[in-house]
Amino acid sequence: MRRLTLALLCATYLCLSLIVALSLWRNGMGWGVAISSMMGCFGLCLASHGMIMRFLEMREIRGEVEAVREGHRILLDQMVRLDGRVTDIASIVETDKSRSETLTGEVHLLERLVQKMTRRFEEQPYATSAPHLAARGGHDVRRPVSLLDVVREALTENRVDLYLQPVVGLPQRKTVFYESFSRLRDASGQVIMPAEYLSVAEPAGLMTAIDNLLLFRCVQIVRRLAARDRRVGVFCNISMSSLGDDEFFPQFLDLLRANRDLAPALIFEVGQAAFDGRNAVQARNMGRLADLGFRFSIDKVTNLDLDLQDLTRSDVKFVKVAAQALLDELTEVDNRLVLRSMPDLAAEDFALLLRRYGVDLIAEKVENERQVVDILDLDIQLGQGHLFGEPRAIKNDVLAEAGAPAPASNVERMRFRAA
Domain segments of the chain as ranges: 2-79, 100-418
User: Which DSSP state fits 263?
Assistant: G
Q: What residues contact residue 214 under an 8 Å CB cut-off, 6+ apart?
A: 162, 180, 181, 182, 236, 237
Contact 183, 193 (CB under 8 A): yes
Pairing label, strands 160-169, 140-142: unpaired
Contact 395, 217 (CB under 8 A): no
- d(CA 254, CA 288) in angstroms, rounded, equals 11
According to DSSP, the residues that pair with 161 across neighbouring strands are 183
- Cα maximum dimension of the chain: 147
- d(CA 272, CA 267) in angstroms, rounded, equals 15
Contact 15, 28 (CB under 8 A): no
Contact 239, 208 (CB under 8 A): yes
- Domain covering 100-418, topology: TIM Barrel (3.20.20)
pLDDT value of position 65: 81
pLDDT value of position 129: 39
Cα dihedral across residues 390, 236, 181, 262: positive or negative: positive
- d(CA 158, CA 404) in angstroms, rounded, equals 10
Q: pLDDT tens digits, the chain, 419 residues: what are they?
A: 666 666 666 777 677 767 766 676 666 666 666 667 667 776 777 677 677 777 777 878 887 888 888 877 787 777 777 777 777 776 665 655 555 455 455 555 555 555 555 555 455 444 443 344 444 444 444 444 466 677 666 656 667 778 899 999 999 999 999 998 877 777 777 777 766 666 666 666 656 666 667 777 788 788 887 777 667 889 998 888 888 888 878 888 888 888 888 888 999 999 999 999 999 999 999 999 999 999 999 999 999 999 999 999 999 999 999 999 999 999 988 888 999 988 889 999 999 999 999 999 999 999 999 999 999 999 999 999 999 999 998 865 444 444 444 333 333 333 333 33
pLDDT value of position 222: 82
Q: Which residues of 80-99 are buried (b: 16+ CB within 10 A; e: fewer)?
A: eeeeeeeeeeeeeeeeeeee
Contact 378, 355 (CB under 8 A): no
Question: HSE (CB half, 13 Å, CA atoms) of 396?
Answer: 12
pLDDT value of position 137: 47
Rg (CA), the chain: 42
Q: What residues contact residue 243 under an 8 Å CB cut-off, 6+ apart?
A: 249, 278, 281, 282, 285, 286
The alpha carbon torsion through 236, 238, 242, 247 (nearest 10 deg) reads 0
Q: Helix 31-123 and helix 410-418: axis angle, to 10°? A: 30
Total residue length of the chain: 419
Contact 152, 113 (CB under 8 A): no
- d(CA 105, CA 338) in angstroms, rounded, equals 51
- d(CA 14, CA 20) in angstroms, rounded, equals 10
pLDDT value of position 411: 31
- d(CA 289, CA 253) in angstroms, rounded, equals 7
Output the CA–CA distances (angstroms, integers) from residue 293 to 41, 175, 180, 226, 314, in the order listed.
93, 22, 20, 16, 12
pLDDT value of position 156: 61
Contact 135, 196 (CB under 8 A): yes
Of the candidates 398, 408, 402, 405, the residue with the CA atom closest to the CA atom of residue 153? 408
Instruction: For residue 171, say if its preceding peptide bond is cis, omega within 30 degrees of 0.
Output: yes
Span between the terminal Cα atoms of the chain, in Å: 95
